[in-house]
Amino acid sequence: MAYSSLLRLSGISAIIGGLIVLLMYPVRMAYCPPLSGGTGCVVFKGTFVLESILVLLGIVGIYLIQAEKTGIYGLISFFIAFLGGAMTVGADWTHTFVEPALQELLPDLAQSNSPPPFFVMLGLMSSWLLHTLGWILFGISIISARVFSKWAVLLVIVGFILSFIPLPSIPVASTLAGLGLVWLGYQIQANARKLRNQQVVPEVTGAENSI
């Protein structure tokens, strides 16, 4: 039961994370652009730190369900996707808390439109690149396992790739990625219910035999 409960938690996490991406990302870009401050924007951007953590939990559920069918490649691709997702949590944390602090402490820097220092850009870009690469590799293992819908995975991958294109494409990117994550979350839930039913039947049969 604990295993199926973990899977249900993973599915719920993926659904909520997908809904945050789907519904709130376009609003964030419109009303809380980079380097924007204020308590409201900090709280609003904080939802994306939560989203990144929830998607990580979703990845765990996907891997556990299909682990036997994907072998060593599935494990390696899961590790890369998880590592990229963990680095994305750090990037979102930086956008949420560090950027407003820089605007408050160094307002001239925030208004100069100059690019961030090299190592800051390197860290942020490597996080997003590894995150996208991890999902591409992990997506291949998901498609090959044929447990989850390949279209759900493709929506997520295409959405993440489009997020690297300039701002006008971001609503499209977040819509695709959000829909794909919600879809995968529902499929995790379905697999968790199926597993739970399979566990309940032997317990009932065993009780009848003991009588």
Give whichever of 17-26, 101-110, 177-186 has the largest mean pLDDT: 177-186
Rounded percentage of the chain residues whose pLDDT exceeds 70:
81
The pLDDT, as a whole number, for residue 110 is: 58
Q: How confident is the model at residue 202 (pLDDT cuts 50, 70, 90)?
A: very low
Which has the minimum average pLDDT: 38-42, 88-92, 111-115, 153-157? 111-115
Is the pLDDT at 183 greater than 70? The verdict is yes
Taking each helix axis as running N to C, give the angle between helix 2-31 and helix 170-210, from 0 to 180 degrees, rounded to the nearest 10: 170
Q: How confident is the model at residue 198 (pLDDT cuts 50, 70, 90)?
A: confident
Q: How confident is the model at residue 205 (pLDDT cuts 50, 70, 90)?
A: very low
Of residues 119 and 177, more confidently modeled = 177
The pLDDT, as a whole number, for residue 204 is: 41
The pLDDT, as a whole number, for residue 207 is: 41
Give whichever of 18-22, 24-28, 30-34 has the largest mean pLDDT: 18-22
Is the pLDDT at 44 greater than 50? The verdict is yes
Mean pLDDT, to the nearest integer, of 8-22?
A: 94
Q: How confident is the model at residue 195 (pLDDT cuts 50, 70, 90)?
A: confident
The pLDDT, as a whole number, for residue 203 is: 47
Is the pLDDT at 70 greater than 90? The verdict is yes
pTM above 0.85, yes or no: no
Mean pLDDT, to the nearest integer, of 39-43?
A: 73
Please write the tens of the pLDDT for every residue from 88-117: 998 888 878 877 777 777 766 656 666 667
